[in-house]
Amino acid sequence: TVSAEEQQFNDLIAADSRIEPRDWMPDGYRKTLIRQISQHAHSEIIGMQPEGNWITRAPSLKRKAILLAKVQDEAGHGLYLYSAAQTLGVSRDLMTDQLIAGKARYSSIFNYPSPTWADMGSIGWLVDGAAICNQVPLCRASYGPYGRAMVRICKEESFHQRQGFEILLELMNGTPAQREMAQDSVNRWYWPALQMFGPPDDDSPNSAQSMAWNIKRFSNDDLRQRFVGMLVPQAEVLGVTLPDPDLRWNEEKGAYDMGEIDWTEFHEVLAGRGPANARRLQRRRDAHNEGQWVREAAAAYAAKQAVKAVA
């Protein structure tokens, strides 16, 4: 038998309505959301690092201002998402502790290095492009605070994607060395960007339940396919080659065939053995420790204000 509150939850999901923080929800629904939203928040925060790496070396004042704004946006995305997760009853401190202890997941993509300026282009075009593709459907996620956070995030991501495309376009219209740098960067980011969508559908343990709960709206493979379909014409405009010799239009399918993704590499990165995992986590730990005095000062100030308010 289903309790009245569970029936109400089921009815809201069946009607494609929203679940809000005060509504009753099954434990599994709450847990899945905490898992996905906290992982997503951590990704935004760790994701500041590959681009933060280039702020002091941006090739012009204009590029520096744009990059700075973009990295700040990512910090903001992390904050909206931590706030959304907090509405489910998990504390920000706990999520932070899990991240710096190396116990939390964040997107595989941020464990790759960004050795050249062209990587700022590829991250915008491919990484933020994949993020938009994955996140636009999340604007309709059944959990209200998550869906609403995603609306704003997606607007900002589309600016990020355009600025990345434009960096690559300028390099591709530049010298042979600049074109080579752009192509080399696309070669390095293309496959990891496809892995952002997660494991193949037949190896994705969370998908079926998340789709039944209207959290996910499309499967990992469907979104990946859609992303590749978006990239091909954009790559033509840029004049870059997507590094997949098996990529070709399949008339019958009405979609692109593509080469095999290296899932061994994906699982290695998830296990903490990617090219930059250790460095990313250490940087986050250091930043957290260096921020200790700020947290203490803020807490002391808040305590003082509270005494004043009572007096």
Binding part of the chain for ligand ACO, among 35-43, 82-90, 230-238, 240-248 by CB under 6 A, reads 35-43
CB 292 within 8 A of CB 100: no
Task: Say if strands 248-250 and 255-257 run parallel, antiparallel, or are unpaired.
Answer: antiparallel
The beta strands (E) that lie in 101-198 are given as none
Amino acid occupying residue 107: S
Minimum Å gap between C-beta 36 and ligand ACO is 4
Amino acid occupying residue 240: V
The reply on whether position 276 binds ligand ACO by CB under 6 A is no
Written as six digits, the tokens of 83 are 């706030």
By CB under 6 A, the residues from 74 to 133 that bind ligand ACO are: 105, 107-108, 131
- Comparison of 84 and 182: residue with beta carbon closer to ligand ACO: 84
Query: What is the C-alpha separation between 261 and 231, in angstroms, rounded?
Result: 16
Query: What is the C-alpha separation between 266 and 251, in angstroms, rounded?
Result: 30
Select from 29, 47, 54, 80 the one that contacts ligand ACO (CB under 6 A): 47
- Comparison of 69 and 303: residue with beta carbon closer to ligand ACO: 69
- Comparison of 28 and 174: residue with beta carbon closer to ligand ACO: 28
Residue 168, SS3 per DSSP? helix
**How many residues at the interface with ligand ACO, by CB under 6 A?**
25
- Comparison of 25 and 44: residue with beta carbon closer to ligand ACO: 44
Instruction: Find, among 187, 181, 190, the residue nearest to 228 by Cα.
Output: 190
By CB under 6 A, the residues from 253 to 272 that bind ligand ACO are: 270
CB 21 within 8 A of CB 145: yes
User: x/- contact string, 204-243, with ligand ACO (CB under 6 A)?
Assistant: xxxx--x-----x---x-----------------------
Compute φ and ψ for 256, nearest 5 degrees.
-80, 140
Select from 39, 87, 187, 241 the one that contacts ligand ACO (CB under 6 A): 39
Minimum Å gap between C-beta 94 and ligand ACO is 16
Residue 89 region, left (φ>0) first, then alpha (ψ -120 to 50), else beta? left
Which residues form the interface with ligand ACO (CB under 6 A)? 35-36, 39-40, 43-44, 47, 105, 107-108, 131, 134, 195-199, 204-207, 210, 216, 220, 270
